[in-house]
Amino acid sequence: MSERVLVGLAAAGGVAVAGAFVLRDSPPSGNGAGGECERARALQALADVAEELGRAAVRLRAAGLVDEAEILEANRLMSEDPSLESEVAELALELPAAVAVARATDHHASLLAGLDDPLLAARAADVRELGRRAARLLSGAPPLVLPDRPVVLVARDLGPAEISDLQLCGGTIAGIALAEGAATSHAAIMARALGLPLVVGLGEEVLGAADGETLVLDADRRRVVLRPAAATVADAEAAQTRAVAEKARLAASRGRPAVTRDSLRIALLSNAATVAEVRAGLDAGAEGVGLLRTELAFLEAGAWPGEAEHFDALVQPLALLAGRVATVRTLDFGEDKTPPFLAGIAQRGLELTLAQPAELRAQLRAVLRAGAETRLRILFPLVRDAAQMRAVRELLAQAIDEVGWRAPRPRVGAMIETPDAAAQAAAIAAEADFLSIGTNDLVQYTLGLDRELPLASTVAAASPEVLAHVGAVVAAAHALGRPVEVCGEAAGEPPVAALLVGLGVDELSVSPARLDVVRAAVRSVSASAASAAARQAVEAASLEESLALGEALLDESGDESGELLDSLGSALA
């Protein structure tokens, strides 16, 4: 029988050749009618799912996947949504618990899927995942176990937690093929973070694959091949070999600086929240840490953490950074990162901590004590105006006196994350030693996209509107001699990184896994060409046009990044 090629959408680049492992649809079942007992079982299942997602988030953080852990935290909160709980409770009075949960989650998912915004619509898969997890718990089904050989996982759709569970708990996934799904989904983000090729939207036919039959999944070409010919398998295996060799080549260049072809040096730093992430960044050649998150250790806290708790959380990661740049961001509570003791708050970021000056001063004392041997920088989140920076400088001066600080005074940074702050960049820079642009939030506030979708921030950060804000911030800061870093996820995408270099950004801080590819991108372009492309991108008519300009920079380089983009794939596919 001849091979059959199914074409879908590339959601995470790469190539896989392995036997199929098909997850079959299993409609929820239950005997009898509903009632108070079924209502209690259904609500308990949702609560248990929330606990499962919390544990999965902990595993991701331990693996250094902090942004992906936040996705699961957001989904955990979704499982506790009062409107979902109310609908489940009402249905379970008439239907078996598993059926009630399935219908309620399907209803909520359908509402999301019908939205005009494709990024929000893609979250429907997350809601359906909640229903599947709850149904499995209610049925008493054992956890899914993969074979002890590499497989191409085939399913109708998957959620992010299902992918992380299967891969991080001893999984052997070589790639994922989905009949449905979206390239902007949380599952796609999770697959990229775990290095798993993923093709979505393949249609019903892919579900007809037999367990164990060899599949070729080529996400770079947006396809899955059923019953592949020997030549097709050989070509795919050769592509895998090239990708492995390319990764090794890039890793071998970690001792080389991030310098453009016309000798502009860009500081390359890493984002981190844990000891493992700091170590991974240094191993991958980071010059230091450009963003050390501090709130993630306290998301389940029952009260404001004290100085001792802050110190305990910071001392180990900062010990690894002795003599290096260590940029510690103060607590960024609020919105999707709200601990129980702050439930219902309206404030966020620096506004919130400035309202608690004693608590902020306690954290500053801990930062100073733990970071005394580093080239310490203290970064304040979501700065609104210059007055806030004057206020935190006063608090920092008090903390310095309280700990008897003797090292060089730490540099103070302001995160620019809103259009209003970008417009006031000159005044804010006058009160700061450096500026840091958080593209995740800047995209949300500029374009109205959902911050809980990292892909949205990564891709849309190249929109002309957002690039214009970045360019304005850089110009204002440089006029006062202040350097500018970008620490959002966008800095980890080569075409976007190339445009950021063109806008004059001095430092790029990315996840440890993206350091090699970003270093290669910087080294492959000239700053002068990047500057010209960036000016065009700011004036572009669309996101697609501006992204094409960034990609053209890399394509024209003919050096380190062109083959890299082909072999590793891109989140922009």
User: Residue 288, CB half-sphere, CA atoms under 13 Å: how many?
Assistant: 21
Q: Is 169 designated active site?
A: no
Choice among 186, 310, 469, 478 that is catalytic: 186
Using CA of residue 474, residue 476, residue 482, residue 488, what is the dihedral sign?
A: negative
* Residue length of the chain: 573
Residue whose tokens read 């759709």: 157
Q: Is 108 designated active site?
A: no
Give the residue from 125, 181, 174, 143 showing the smallest Cα distance to 56: 143
Q: Which tokens is 206 given?
A: 């892919």
**Cα 385 from chain centroid?**
27
Identity of residue 134: A
Q: Determine contact, residues 556/494, Cβ cutoff 8 Å.
A: no
Instruction: Report the alpha-carbon distance of residue 226 to residue 468 in Å, rounded.
Output: 46
Residues 6+ apart with CB under 8 A from 155: 22, 23, 176, 177, 178, 179, 207
Choice among 108, 310, 469, 487 that is catalytic: 487
Residue 571 Cα distances to 362, 372, 394, 502, angstroms: 40, 38, 42, 21
| Mode of pairing for the β-strands spanning 288-292 and 325-329 | parallel
Q: What is the DSSP string of 210-228?
A: PTT-EEEEEGGGTEEEES-
Residues 6+ apart with CB under 8 A from 44: none
Residue 518 Cα distances to 259, 491, 513, angstroms: 11, 8, 10
Q: Which tokens is 380 given?
A: 């304040």
| Mode of pairing for the β-strands spanning 214-218 and 15-22 | antiparallel
b (16+ CB within 10 A) / e for 95-112? bbbbbbbbbbbbebbeeb
DSSP state letter for 307: H
Give the residue from 272, 287, 239, 250 showing the smallest Cα distance to 521: 250
Q: What is the DSSP string of 514-555?
A: GHHHHHHHHHHS-HHHHHHHHHHHHT-SSHHHHHHHHHHHHH
Give the residue from 486, 509, 498 showing the smallest Cα distance to 546: 498
Residue whose tokens read 């250790």: 297
- Give the E-state strand segments of 8-137 in sequence order: 9-12, 15-22
175's enclosing H/E stretch is strand 173-178
User: Which residues belong to the active site?
Assistant: 186, 487
